[in-house]
């Protein structure tokens, strides 16, 4: 894992101290709210429906047990005993008092964390594949370049006041778990024909009120030039991005209006000016950062030992159906023989997606230390991951998780939904999403039914800003206000993976009382029309389109 | 004009607060002053706005209410949630008190 150097430590502590002074001046009346608001937003502090909300970044989703324990303490001491993991590998605390926030920032700084650039028109937390460094098919660990970008973009003077917020996602695997095509800049780390590491750069993706799939602006940029290339993109955006209309200010609109060819031409011209300058990352610096993400000390197992471990796991699964169910969905293959990746879905049946109590954070921190070489991950799908678990420890791990309400066996199934906080917390929301998510979860709780439905991603947002990624949901749900009533629009066929697509609206919205029945109708329609149990919902939808679903949904109308 | 109350956010904790007749702020919507004319609404907003200047509250605005069992109840769901707390966690917010 990356560890702060002297500069990082000093910078984050200095920033916490600076905010302490700003809060004191706000409370004394020296600063008005108009003066203070941009300062608090730069430190991740929002004002929501019931209280302030502090958004803490988890760069590329990687954390240690020490950091998670500190988050548990913050939740317990300054909040109401819980936190909420978001869709951008952040955690949000929903109830901090303004006067406590400087101390929270100091506590975060003590464990190499902060809330800087988790808000505002700047480069936000760089997100990445939550299986980075553990998955066998990875070309290169995407966290290396995520960290390079994090360092470059932190308080970058030229890019601290962009036309709008700017989001990066980086993956190192052909299978996209980071939704790179839905980001302002998406980077797919790959190798060229000569075997050199570099990145395919996509630009202009995004969700919100105008969803767009990112377009490839360059198929391969050598890793030493990645920073210069993305800086060239940011410069073009900063110069030409619209500032007259906040709804048209994201780079996706610029790319859409000007066309990728014109944007490429301008970026390439800018890149030609700065290539080879100080933005070229020296190999020794890349190596230094890469060393932080080197494989941990994996234990080697011979064939005989592996066979014995597998035999033991089979026995455990035979003896314990709940463990077998968890193994089936929540445990993924690891690149290292004898190890596995374990998903901890924060999606207990009927629970609030992404919420975790401080006590549960402590449990996960202990298990991270005990079973996952002191490393854990937060995913953009609001789940936690223990990336490096010995297969021999899986039963013990599951037993501990299960006894603390963290062993729900639903990773990738219909109850493993993305659900934004919606109007229950968010000041921007136009409808609630959490209660709808809870009801869907209860409706589809039966595990055999979930298996029958297969891989399914429901994603739900409580407003057009699309924090719940509804555009990328196989089934997307968008809550809106219709003359004072919460109603829900449904989209079908969205996907955030390497085959990215934007969901299509199925028809008129449903009321809160109708929407879960509508989801069930969609699911039953899929089960009736699929060609085989192997044909997933997304594949079936792409084969048949909206019409069969529309017919069933609106037949009675 | 429909009945209205004036609400804001408390500066220190961000909690929803409601302006009383005595010009102080309450966390309980039941204690809010209810006005029924545009003139009275403007006067109440002006009173609330003065506390923005005094750095007690921020973001002062008027909310439509109906009177239920003698107490004001916001007609918009968003405002009702501010009077209660998150609907998925009835153990939190004002509703928990």
Q: What is the pLDDT of residues A290-304, one digit of tens each?
A: 999 999 999 999 999
Q: How confident is the model over A124-148, as a mean pLDDT?
A: 96
Query: Residue A73 — very low, low, confident or very high, per pLDDT cuts 50/70/90?
Result: very high
The Cα-based distances of A359 to A67, A68, A364, A406 in angstroms read 14, 11, 9, 11
Chain B residue numbers with beta carbons less than 8 Å from the beta carbon of A484 are 75-77
Chain A residue numbers with beta carbons less than 8 Å from the beta carbon of B88 are 352, 424, 434-435, 438
pLDDT at A556 > cutoff 80: no
B15–A51 CB contact, under 8 Å = yes
Chain A residue numbers with beta carbons less than 8 Å from the beta carbon of B55 are 26-29
**Domain A6-110 carries which CATH code?**
3.90.480.20
A95–B11 CB contact, under 8 Å = no
Pairing assessment for the beta strands A90-93 and A52-57 based on DSSP bridges: antiparallel
Partner-chain residue, chosen from A29, A48, A97, that has the shortest CB–CB distance to B55: A29
Q: How confident is the model over A187-197, as a mean pLDDT?
A: 96
Chain A residue numbers with beta carbons less than 8 Å from the beta carbon of B59 are 33, 47
Domains A134-292 and A418-554 share a fold: yes
Put the strands of the sheet holding A90-93 in their side by side order: A45-47, A52-57, A90-93, A82-85, A355-357
Cα B66 to chain centroid, rounded: 13
Name the minimum distance, in Å, from the CA of A423 to any CA of chain B: 7
pLDDT at A460 > cutoff 90: yes
Q: What is the pLDDT of residue A137?
A: 94
Q: Position of tokens 């997933």?
A: A536
Nearest Cα residue in chain B from A50: B15
Q: Residue A287: CA atoms inside 13 Å, Cβ hemisphere, count?
A: 3
Structure tokens at A297: 């000390």
Indicate the domain borders of chain B: 4-96
Nearest Cα residue in chain B from A99: B12
Cβ neighbour number for residue A10 with a 10 Å cutoff = 12
Task: Give the least confident one: A149-158, A414-423, A469-478, B19-28.
Answer: A149-158
Interfacial B residues in 32-71 facing A (CB < 8 Å): 52, 54-55, 58-59
Looking at the DSSP assignment, which residues form a beta bridge with residue B64? B4
Partner-chain residue, chosen from B13, B85, B86, that has the shortest CB–CB distance to A97: B13
Q: Position of tokens 């969901």?
A: A503
Q: What is the pLDDT of residue A1?
A: 84
Q: What percent of chain A has pLDDT over 90?
A: 97
b (16+ CB within 10 A) / e for A328-348 = ebbbbebbbbbbbbbbbbbbb
Q: How confident is the model over A85-92, as a mean pLDDT?
A: 97
> What DSSP element (H or E) covers A487?
strand A485-492
Residue with the larger pLDDT of the pair A160 and A409: A409
Pairing assessment for the beta strands B16-19 and B4-10 based on DSSP bridges: antiparallel
Task: Determine the 3-state secondary structure of A271 from DSSP.
Answer: helix
| Mutation choice for A interface testing from B55, B84, B97 by most A CBs within 10 A | B55
Task: Determine the 3-state secondary structure of A516 from DSSP.
Answer: helix
Phi, psi of A214 (to 5 degrees): -60, 145
Q: Which CATH architecture has domain A303-402?
A: Alpha-Beta Complex (3.90)
Chain B residue numbers with beta carbons less than 8 Å from the beta carbon of A51 are 13-15
Cβ neighbour number for residue A504 with a 10 Å cutoff = 16
A352–B59 CB contact, under 8 Å = no
B12–A95 CB contact, under 8 Å = no
Return the C-alpha torsion angle A415, A417, A422, A426, nearest 10. Answer: 130
Q: How confident is the model over B39-63, as a mean pLDDT?
A: 97
**Domain A134-292 carries which CATH code?**
3.30.413.10
- Angle, helices A321-330/A394-402, rounded to nearest 10 degrees: 100
A434–B87 CB contact, under 8 Å = yes
* CATH class of the structural domain A418-554: alpha beta
The C-alpha atoms of residue A488 and residue A477 are separated, in whole angstroms, by: 6
Burial of A402 (0-12, 13-18, 19+ CB in 10 A): middle
Chain B residue numbers with beta carbons less than 8 Å from the beta carbon of A99 are 12
Query: Residue A557 — very low, low, confident or very high, per pLDDT cuts 50/70/90?
Result: low
Nearest Cα residue in chain B from A25: B55
Nearest Cα residue in chain B from A96: B13
B14–A98 CB contact, under 8 Å = yes
Indicate the domain borders of chain A: 6-110, 134-292, 303-402, 418-554
Nearest Cα residue in chain A from B88: A435
Pairing assessment for the beta strands A45-47 and A52-57 based on DSSP bridges: antiparallel
b (16+ CB within 10 A) / e for A239-263 = eebeeeeeebbbbbbbbbebebeeb
Q: What is the pLDDT of residue A5?
A: 87
| Mutation choice for A interface testing from B9, B80, B86, B93 by most A CBs within 10 A | B86
pLDDT at B97 > cutoff 80: no
Structure tokens at A21: 């002074």
B81–A435 CB contact, under 8 Å = no
- The pLDDT mean for chain A works out to 97
> What DSSP element (H or E) covers A517?
helix A512-529
Chain A residue numbers with beta carbons less than 8 Å from the beta carbon of B11 are 26-27, 33, 98
| Mutation choice for B interface testing from A49, A435, A487 by most B CBs within 10 A | A49
Structure tokens at A46: 């929002």
The C-alpha atoms of residue A404 and residue A431 are separated, in whole angstroms, by: 31
Residues 6+ apart with CB under 8 A from A54: A44, A45, A46, A92, A93, A96, A101, A104, A115
Is B13 in the A-facing interface, judged by CB distances under 8 Å? yes
B88–A352 CB contact, under 8 Å = yes
The Cα-based distances of A430 to A198, A232, A422 in angstroms read 42, 37, 7
Is B84 in the A-facing interface, judged by CB distances under 8 Å? no
Nearest Cα residue in chain A from B86: A424
Q: What is the pLDDT of residue A3?
A: 87
Chain B residue numbers with beta carbons less than 8 Å from the beta carbon of A28 are 55
B58–A51 CB contact, under 8 Å = no
The question of ipTM being above 0.95 is answered as yes
Task: Determine the 3-state secondary structure of A208 from DSSP.
Answer: coil
Q: How confident is the model over A359-382, as a mean pLDDT?
A: 98
Q: How confident is the model over B40-63, as a mean pLDDT?
A: 97
The C-alpha atoms of residue A360 and residue A408 are separated, in whole angstroms, by: 13
pLDDT at A527 > cutoff 80: yes
Q: What is the pLDDT of residues A328-363, one digit of tens each?
A: 999 999 999 999 999 999 999 999 999 999 999 999
Partner-chain residue, chosen from B15, B58, B86, that has the shortest CB–CB distance to A424: B86
A50–B82 CB contact, under 8 Å = yes
Q: What is the pLDDT of residue A555?
A: 85
Query: Residue A2 — very low, low, confident or very high, per pLDDT cuts 50/70/90?
Result: confident
Cβ neighbour number for residue A69 with a 10 Å cutoff = 20
Biggest CA–CA distance in chain B, Å, is 39
The C-alpha atoms of residue A61 and residue A89 are separated, in whole angstroms, by: 5
- The pLDDT mean for chain B works out to 96
Chain B residue numbers with beta carbons less than 8 Å from the beta carbon of A33 are 11, 52, 58-59
Nearest Cα residue in chain B from A81: B92
DSSP secondary structure letter of residue A530: -
Nearest Cα residue in chain A from B57: A33
Nearest Cα residue in chain A from B95: A50
């Amino acid at each position: 894992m990356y560890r702060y150097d002297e500069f990082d430590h000093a910078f984050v502590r200095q920033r916490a101290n600076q905010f302490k002074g700003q809060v004191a001046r706000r409370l004394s009346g020296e600063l008005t709210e108009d003066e203070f608001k941009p300062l608090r937003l730069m430190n991740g502090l929002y004002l929501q429906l019931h209280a302030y909300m502090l958004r803490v970044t988890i760069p590329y989703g990687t954390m240690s047990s020490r950091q998670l324990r500190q988050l548990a303490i913050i939740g317990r001491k300054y909040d109401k005993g819980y936190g909420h993991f978001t869709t951008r590998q952040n955690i949000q605390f929903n109830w901090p008092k303004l006067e406590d926030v400087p101390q929270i920032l100091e506590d975060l700084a003590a464990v190499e964390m902060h809330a800087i650039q988790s808000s505002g028109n700047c480069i936000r937390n760089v997100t990445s594949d939550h299986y980075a460094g553990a998955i066998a098919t990875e070309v290169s660990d995407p966290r290396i370049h995520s960290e390079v970008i994090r360092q470059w973009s932190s308080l970058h003077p030229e890019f601290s006041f962009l036309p709008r917020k700017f989001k990066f996602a980086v993956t190192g695997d052909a299978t996209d778990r980071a939704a790179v095509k839905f980001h302002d800049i998406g980077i797919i780390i790959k190798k060229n024909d000569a075997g050199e590491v570099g990145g395919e750069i996509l630009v202009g993706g995004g969700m919100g009120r105008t969803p767009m799939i990112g377009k490839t602006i360059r198929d391969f940029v050598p890793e030493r030039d990645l920073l210069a290339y993305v800086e060239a993109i940011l410069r073009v955006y900063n110069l030409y991005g619209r500032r007259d209309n906040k709804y048209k200010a994201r780079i996706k609109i610029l790319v859409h209006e000007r066309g990728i060819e014109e944007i490429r031409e301008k970026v390439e011209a800018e890149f030609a000016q700065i290539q080879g300058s100080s933005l070229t990352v020296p190999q020794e610096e890349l190596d230094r950062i890469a060393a932080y993400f080197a494989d941990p000390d994996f234990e080697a197992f011979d064939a005989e030992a592996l066979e014995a471990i597998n035999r033991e796991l089979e026995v455990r699964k035979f003896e314990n159906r709940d463990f077998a169910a968890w193994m089936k969905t929540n445990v993924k293959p690891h690149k290292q023989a004898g190890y596995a990746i374990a998903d901890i879905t924060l999606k207990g049946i009927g629970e609030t997606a992404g919420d975790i109590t401080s006590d549960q954070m402590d449990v996960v921190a202990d298990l991270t230390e005990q079973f996952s070489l002191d490393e854990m991950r937060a995913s953009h799908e609001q789940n936690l991951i223990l990336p490096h678990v010995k297969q021999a420890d899986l039963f013990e791990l599951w037993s501990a998780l299960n006894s603390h309400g963290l062993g729900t066996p639903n990773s990738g199934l219909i109850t493993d939904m993305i659900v934004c906080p919606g109007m229950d917390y968010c000041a921007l929301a136009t409808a609630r999403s959490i209660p709808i998510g809870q009801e869907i979860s209860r409706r589809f709780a039966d595990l055999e039914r979930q298996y029958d439905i297969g891989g399914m991603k429901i994603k739900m947002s409580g407003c057009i800003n699309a924090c719940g990624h509804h555009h990328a949901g196989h089934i997307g749900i968008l809550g809106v206000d219709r003359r004072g009533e919460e109603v829900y629009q449904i989209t079908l066929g969205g996907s955030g993976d390497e085959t990215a697509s934007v969901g299509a609206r199925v028809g008129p919205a449903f009321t809160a009382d109708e929407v879960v029945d509508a989801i069930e109708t969609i699911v039953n329609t899929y089960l009736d029309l699929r060609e085989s149990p192997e044909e997933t919902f997304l594949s079936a939808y792409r084969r048949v389109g909206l019409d069969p679903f529309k017919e069933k949904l609106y037949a009675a109308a | 004009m429909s009945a209205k109350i004036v609400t804001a956010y408390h500066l220190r904790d961000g909690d929803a607060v409601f302006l009383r007749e005595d010009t102080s702020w309450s966390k309980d919507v039941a204690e809010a002053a209810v006005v029924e004319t545009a003139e009275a609404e403007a006067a109440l907003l002006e009173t609330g706005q003065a506390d923005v200047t005094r750095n007690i509250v921020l973001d002062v605005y008027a909310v439509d209410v109906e009177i239920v069992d003698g107490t004001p109840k916001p007609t918009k769901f968003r405002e009702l949630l501010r009077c209660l707390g998150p609907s998925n966690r009835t153990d939190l917010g004002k509703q928990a008190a």
